[in-house]
Amino acid sequence: QQPVQSPQAVILREGEDAVINCSSSKALYSVHWYRQKHGEAPVFLMILLKGGEQKGHEKISASFNEKKQQSSLYLTASQLSYSGTYFCGTEELTGGGNKLTFGTGTQLKVEL
C-alpha cells in the first residue's frame, strides 16, 4: 500500500528549514528516502531500519517512528542543490511482497 507524503510541495528560501513526512498504514521493515531531480534518476539518501532511529546525510536527517509507521525527513539550512522531488519508500513487514513502495513525492524548490 502506497505511503502518504506531506506536504505535496514546498518552496523555501536558501537557508530555511523544511520537514517532509511519510506515513504508512502498514507495519514496516524500513523506510528509504530518495531525491530525484527533474529528468534524472532517483538517488538514494538514506535508509532507516529501527524504531526511533535517526540518520543524517550532510544537513539532511531523518527519523523513523516504528510504532506509528511514520518517518520524517529534515532539511536544515537548505541549499539550492536540495531542490528536487523527495520520495519515501517503504518495505512492509507482511503482505507487501518483495518490493519498495514509493509515496507520491514532495516537490521541494529552494530559491535565493
Site residues, another protein (CB under 8 A): 2, 29-30, 32, 34, 40-44, 47, 49, 87, 89, 91, 97-105
Query: Helix or strand or coil: residue 81?
Result: helix
Query: Which residue type is seen at 25?
Result: S
Give least dist CB 105 to another protein, A.
5
Toward another protein, which CB reaches closer, 41 or 112? 41
Give least dist CB 89 to another protein, A.
8
Give least dist CB 15 to another protein, A.
28
- Alpha carbon distance 66, 71 (integer Å): 8
Toward another protein, which CB reaches closer, 69 or 101? 101
Toward another protein, which CB reaches closer, 6 or 104? 104
Toward another protein, which CB reaches closer, 13 or 94? 94
The secondary structure of 4-50 as a DSSP string is EEE-SEEEEETT--EEEEEE-SS-EEEEEEEEE-TTS--EEEEEE-S
Q: What is the DSSP letter of 69?
A: T
